[in-house]
Amino acid sequence: MKILNGSELAGFIKERQAKEVRRLTQSLGVQPKLAIVYTLEHGPSLTYMGMKKRYGEDIGAAVDVHFVEQANVKQLLETLNADPSVYGIIVQLPLADASETDEVVNMIAPEKDVDGLGEYAPYTPATPMAILWLLAGYNVDLEKSRIALVGRGKLVGAPLIDMFTKSDYNFVLIHSKTPNTKELLLEADVIITATGRAGLITSDMIKQGAVVVDAGVAGEKGKTVGDLDPDVYERDDLTITPTKGGVGPLTICALFENTIRAAEASVTK
């Protein structure tokens, strides 16, 4: 088994970003600042917010975390949009009322939408960027691969559909209503899954020598788990993300990459 070690790649990116933040702060007097807004006390979300805050501090960026009742989220976002010291804003999902997700993320000023989820955001969404960084870092050539994309959610699947279509990659989308899931997966050289359904993909669905990226996040017995069944990790022929330290660390890097770019753009307009 070959491991797609996101933590290792993240270490190199973190070092570079710390230098960029120092340059912006010392030479241009601009400290990148990210504002995180959340409306739901959700276990995995709180964990990820803590990780983002620590990462920002490590590279010299500022991170402010704001809890707000969803009824007041528009007012808070308007305040942050108008604050010249805030260069990036993200709304930590899920929201207390998930039906308002599109409306809420589109309240963020496009130039500050560093999660890239709004309709007019100029930035690549963080998790898809992380997946592409990870695959490129291990020389996986998507142009020459048959790709199976499992899930079409707002954070990962939908942006990747758009990116793969624009790049003219050979990919198939698999979702809950796809009738021949197993057959399609067995034809894929690269599987990228992000459904949040624990154990969805089992070993007998994956062909010999495939590359497998698990970006799913689900809670099971108090633990955070992915879409892959544990039996997948018993194989030694796959190139695969680990249960921890795969896409996650690079997603945080990608988020701060966008925040740094936003801060830089503010002084080069």
For the chain, which residues score pLDDT lower than 70? 218-224, 269
Mind listing the pLDDT tens digit for each residue in 54-81?
A: 999 999 999 999 999 999 999 999 999 9
Burial classification of residue 44, based on how many CB atoms lie within 10 Å of its CB (0-12 exposed, 13-18 middle, 19 or more buried): middle
For the domain bounded by 26-110, which CATH number is listed?
3.40.50.10860
Cα-flanking dihedrals φ and ψ of residue 95, to 5°?
Answer: -80, 165
Q: What is the fold, at CATH topology level, of the domain defined by 126-248?
A: Rossmann fold (3.40.50)
Q: Full-prediction pTM beyond 0.95?
A: no
Cα–Cα distances in Å, from 233 out to 21, 200, 202, 229, 259?
A: 38, 14, 10, 8, 35
Q: Are 80 and 112 in contact (CB under 8 A)?
A: yes
Residue ranges, CATH 3.40.50.720, the chain: 126-248
Residue ranges, CATH 3.40.50.10860, the chain: 26-110
Mind listing the pLDDT tens digit for each residue in 185-215?
A: 999 999 999 998 989 999 999 999 999 999 9
Token pair, residue 122, equals 């100029």
Cα separation, 71 vs 32, whole angstroms: 28
List the Cα angle 65/50/13 in 5-degree steps: 105
What is residue 222's predicted lDDT score, i.e. its pLDDT? Answer: 62
